[in-house]
Amino acid sequence: MPPSVGSRVPDLTVEAYIRGEREPQSLAVPAHDGEWTALVFYPRDFTFVCPTELQGFAELQHEFAAEGATLLAASTDSFYTHKAWFESHSLLADVRYPVLADPSHALSRAFGVLGQDGAALRGTFLIDPEGVVRHSSVTDLNVGRSPAETLRVLQALRTGELCPVDWRPGVATLSVAA
């Protein structure tokens, strides 16, 4: 079961693939750098839907950074499998955010997204700077998520205000004043 909204996530340290690095890099999850963490799990490397999602997040990685969010992807594959896939697939050429390696399944279990076959479900978690989950969604393997919607939810959460349906930056938030 994924951590519920409002709960603190466990502190974990995992290996990550970061483009340009020859060896695995050690990263803390959630990021403890005063920033939000946008953590997106995907099932496996060398699949069909996953590169479209990862490319979509890559297209918005600067917008996530502008919102004070560390963008992280994760699957149950190893660092070396990530390295082989990300350095050979054309859709993944622009991915510059860390991709977490979870072959032990500790991270996937902690977030409640480990499938029976050992692959992660498509889990999306927005974690505030204090390590508290503010948004989570978990989807079946066959349907890709919307990186733009993940960014919109992050932007809405960061306002600290009541945001109406389809709220976007620049749109007024709601007031409860009578």
pTM listed for this prediction:
0.94
What separation in angstroms does the CA of 64 have from each of 37, 57, 91? 9, 9, 19
- Per-residue pLDDT, 163: 92
61 located within any domain: yes
In this structure, the strands spanning 25-29 and 12-17 are antiparallel
Q: Is 50 a catalytic residue?
A: yes
6 located within any domain: no
- Per-residue pLDDT, 140: 86
Asked whether the beta carbons of 172 and 84 are under 8 A apart, the reply is no
In this structure, the strands spanning 69-75 and 36-41 are parallel
7 located within any domain: no
What is the pLDDT confidence band of residue 2, given thresholds at 50, 70 and 90? confident
3 located within any domain: no
177 located within any domain: no
Catalytic residue among 14, 16, 31, 50: 50
Q: Domain tally for the chain?
A: 1
165 located within any domain: no
For the domain that residue 125 is a member of, what is the CATH number?
Answer: 3.40.30.10
- Per-residue pLDDT, 9: 92
171 located within any domain: no
Q: Please give the residue range of the domain that contains residue 140.
A: 12-159
Q: In what order do the strands lie in the sheet with 25-29?
A: 25-29, 12-17, 99-101, 69-75, 36-41, 122-127, 133-139
- Residue 71: is its pLDDT beyond 90? yes
Q: Per-residue pLDDT tens for 23-40? A: 999 999 987 778 999 999
168 located within any domain: no
In what helix (H) or strand (E) does residue 84 lie, and over which residues does it extend? helix 79-86
Calpha distance 74→16 (Å, rounded) = 9
